[in-house]
């Protein structure tokens, strides 16, 4: 299944700067929904390549591509059947190579997704495990167990799938296998050396092709507690990130990350690993970014924080202290392909958009690295009204409600034009785009100084110009009225009014950028509700 490609020399790498990842702004491309080059309504690698100038012009440093590998697409490509092949939906291996080279030519780094916790049920190992019957040696590569109860008809333990229902499925010969996600995503057994060797080889395959790093899916999941003990609680998905569960955030995962760090460090150009890890506390998350482990971990506590000045300040302080204790940068992230877009989370409509614009300036002023999710630079809201017939999130088919469904943040993004698919591609789009999106397209917002797109462009340009932003230098909290956050970075002050009403403060400096219009008078500035301002000091 592996596609052939001539060996690649990495003569196209961007100039190496020291620790580029410590303050990088990394843009998440959900490949299926970014840009479609061939008219099948599904985004692809050539589509991404052709739109790279948008990202270079936006001012981000790197692009993270969600999985584009050979996959039956039971979970949007997070069910991989061949880790070294590009799925025909997204192109061929030469397209990935071309994309990486073109990104590097434009000065953008490329991070790809790696899915080590589980494979697809169509992966050759799992096929062999099923087809070979109870004695197939490949069963050891997964977690096969006999059932409980007199005839083994009950699952081996009480673990639940993150997508709903039991985390076990019974095979035709009576054995059960573990899948923390969909049944089409059997969990690998990381105690097997063959599993470790295979992933080392997959890492090398993509590193040799020139990628700059990996976003590691379910980085907290590969190791399960010995004996697979019962939990004794229901609705376990709600406990993820709140407590250590026998299937997540086990101490044993850190040894795997250490081995990967050694492998990454063996390559030139500072290739990085970023953990998608759900840990109960900022301190436990920081363990993933100790100096000999991964470079970054997504800061989901920031993503899930309420729109509340006190709560935000606590999360910011807690995150900085925890990552600081291990010498790693903090990452700031507001949205991704698994959560409701933050414009909608913050209340939707005009108010949600005002808050989202302000949150963008807050995020980009904090010390560390920031992740942007495609379309947030356009202020896109969640699409809440999708017909059942078009939904693809496996949670929709396994769950019993609409909560937590992830198609609404994955609707293809609007580039231009007045009707769907808004320049997404020459055909349609795999999820319907709302009629109101004409005014939100890249073309419609370009050149309009009040647009969200131009706000992001200005913020990212300023962040590059001002050495005090990004990783450089400390954050010092300043006195501010209730509901307002004010902090200083070297040469810059950031003020965020979280209230819905205007806040009046002494003018902190020369205004650099504001997410809403300001009013000055008598030495004070009136910052409208839900707005953020950067000041030069």
Q: What's the closest the beta carbon of residue 291 comes to ligand NOJ, in angstroms?
A: 26
Q: In what order do the strands lie in the sheet with 492-497?
A: 476-477, 484-489, 492-497, 531-536, 510-514
Q: What's the closest the beta carbon of residue 232 comes to ligand NOJ, in angstroms?
A: 24
Q: What's the closest the beta carbon of residue 8 comes to ligand NOJ, in angstroms?
A: 28
User: Would you say the C-alpha torsion 371, 374, 376, 377 has a positive or negative sign?
Assistant: positive
Q: Is 253 left (phi over 0), alpha (psi -120 to 50) or beta?
A: alpha
Q: What's the closest the beta carbon of residue 180 comes to ligand NOJ, in angstroms?
A: 8
Query: What three-state secondary structure class fits 297?
Result: strand
- Tell me which of 44, 95, 217, 376 is the catalytic residue: 217
Nearer to ligand NOJ, 52 or 216 (CB): 216
**Contacts to ligand NOJ by CB under 6 A:** 75-76, 78, 115, 181, 217-218, 276, 337-338
Question: Is residue 374 within 8 Å of 30, Cβ to Cβ?
Answer: yes
Q: What's the closest the beta carbon of residue 536 comes to ligand NOJ, in angstroms?
A: 38
Place of tokens 């950067």: 534
Query: What are φ and ψ of residue 116, in 5° steps?
Result: -95, -10
User: Among this protein's residues, is 4 annotated catalytic?
Assistant: no
Nearer to ligand NOJ, 219 or 361 (CB): 219
- Tell me which of 95, 113, 276, 393 is the catalytic residue: 276
Token duo for residue 92? 């061929």
How many Å apart are CA 30 and CA 68, to the nearest integer?
9
Q: Rg of the Cα trace of the chain?
A: 23
Strands 510-514 and 176-178 turn out to be: unpaired
Place of tokens 């200083």: 488
Nearer to ligand NOJ, 202 or 218 (CB): 218
Nearer to ligand NOJ, 188 or 492 (CB): 188
How many Å apart are CA 471 and CA 23, to the nearest integer?
5
Nearer to ligand NOJ, 42 or 444 (CB): 42
User: Would you say the C-alpha torsion 470, 335, 114, 221 has a positive or negative sign?
Assistant: positive
Nearer to ligand NOJ, 298 or 535 (CB): 298
Query: What three-state secondary structure class fits 113?
Result: strand
Closest to 415 measured CA to CA, from 384, 383, 445: 445
Beta-carbon-side half-sphere exposure of residue 188 (alpha carbons within 13 Å)? 26
Q: What's the closest the beta carbon of residue 116 comes to ligand NOJ, in angstroms?
A: 10
Q: Which residues of 211-225 are buried (b: 16+ CB within 10 A; e: fewer)?
A: bbbbbbbbbbbbbbe
Nearer to ligand NOJ, 283 or 338 (CB): 338
Is it true that the peptide bond before 123 is cis, omega within 30 degrees of 0?
no
Query: What three-state secondary structure class fits 251?
Result: coil
User: Among this protein's residues, is 217 annotated catalytic?
Assistant: yes
Q: What's the closest the beta carbon of residue 179 comes to ligand NOJ, in angstroms?
A: 10
Token duo for residue 98? 């071309």
Nearer to ligand NOJ, 75 or 376 (CB): 75
Cβ neighbourhood burial of 467 (10 Å; 0-12, 13-18, 19+) = middle
Q: What's the closest the beta carbon of residue 120 comes to ligand NOJ, in angstroms?
A: 11
* Closest chain position to ligand NOJ (CB): 78
CA 206 to mean position of chain CA atoms: 19
Token duo for residue 394? 């496996």
| Residue positions annotated with a catalytic role | 217, 276
């Amino acid at each position: 299944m592996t596609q052939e490609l001539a060996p690649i020399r990495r003569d196209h790498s961007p100039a190496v700067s020291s620790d580029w990842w410590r303050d990088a702004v990394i843009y998440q491309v959900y490949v299926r929904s970014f840009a479609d080059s061939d008219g099948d309504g599904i985004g692809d690698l050539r589509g991404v390549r052709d739109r790279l100038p948008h990202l270079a012009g936006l001012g981000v440093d790197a692009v993270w591509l969600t999985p584009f590998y050979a996959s039956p697409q039971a979970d949007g490509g997070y069910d991989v059947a061949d880790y070294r092949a590009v799925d025909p939906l997204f192109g061929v291996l030469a397209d990935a190579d071309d994309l990486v080279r073109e990104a590097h030519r434009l000065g953008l780094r490329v991070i790809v997704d790696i899915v080590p916790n589980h494979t697809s049920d169509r992966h050759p190992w799992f096929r062999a495990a099923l087809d070979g019957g109870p004695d197939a040696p490949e069963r050891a590569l997964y977690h096969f167990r006999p059932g409980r109860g007199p005839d083994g008809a009950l699952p081996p333990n009480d673990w639940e799938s993150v997508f709903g229902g039991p985390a076990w499925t019974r095979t035709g010969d009576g054995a059960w296998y573990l899948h923390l996600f969909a049944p089409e995503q059997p969990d690998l057994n990381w105690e097997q050396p063959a599993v470790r060797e295979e992933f080392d080889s997959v890492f090398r395959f993509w590193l040799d092709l020139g990628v700059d790093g990996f976003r590691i899916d379910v980085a907290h999941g590969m190791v399960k507690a010995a004996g697979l003990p019962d939990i004794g609680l229901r609705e376990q998905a709600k406990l993820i990130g709140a407590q250590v569960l026998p299937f997540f955030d086990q101490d044993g995962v850190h040894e795997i990350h250490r081995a990967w760090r050694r492998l990454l460090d063996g390559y030139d150009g500072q290739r990085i690993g970023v953990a998608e890890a759900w840990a109960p506390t900022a301190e436990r998350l920081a363990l993933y970014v100790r100096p000999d482990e991964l470079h970054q971990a997504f800061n989901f506590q920031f993503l899930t924080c309420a729109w509340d000045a006190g709560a935000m300040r606590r999360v910011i302080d807690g995150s900085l202290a925890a990552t600081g204790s291990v010498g790693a940068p903090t990452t700031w992230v507001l949205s991704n392909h698994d959560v409701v877009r933050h414009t909608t989370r913050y209340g939707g409509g005009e108010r949600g958009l005002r808050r989202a614009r302000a949150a963008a300036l807050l995020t980009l002023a904090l010390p560390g690295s920031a992740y942007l999710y495609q379309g947030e630079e356009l202020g896109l809201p969640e699409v809440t009204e999708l017909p059942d017939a078009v939904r693809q999130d496996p949670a929709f088919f396994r769950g019993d409600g609409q909560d937590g469904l992830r198609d609404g943040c994955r609707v293809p993004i609007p580039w231009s034009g007045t009707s769907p698919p808004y320049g997404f591609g020459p055909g349609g789009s795999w999820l319907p785009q709302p009629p109101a999106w004409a005014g939100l397209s890249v073309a419609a917002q370009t050149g309009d100084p009040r647009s969200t797109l131009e706000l992001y462009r200005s913020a990212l340009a300023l962040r590059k110009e001002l050495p005090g932003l990004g990783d450089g230098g400390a954050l010092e909290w300043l006195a501010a009225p209730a509901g307002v956050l004010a902090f200083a970075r070297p040469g810059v002050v950031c003020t965020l009014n979280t209230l819905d009403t205007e806040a009046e403060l002494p003018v902190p400096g020369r205004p650099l950028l504001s997410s809403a219009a300001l009013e000055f008078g008598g030495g004070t500035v009136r910052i409208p509700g839900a707005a953020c301002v950067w000041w030069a000091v």
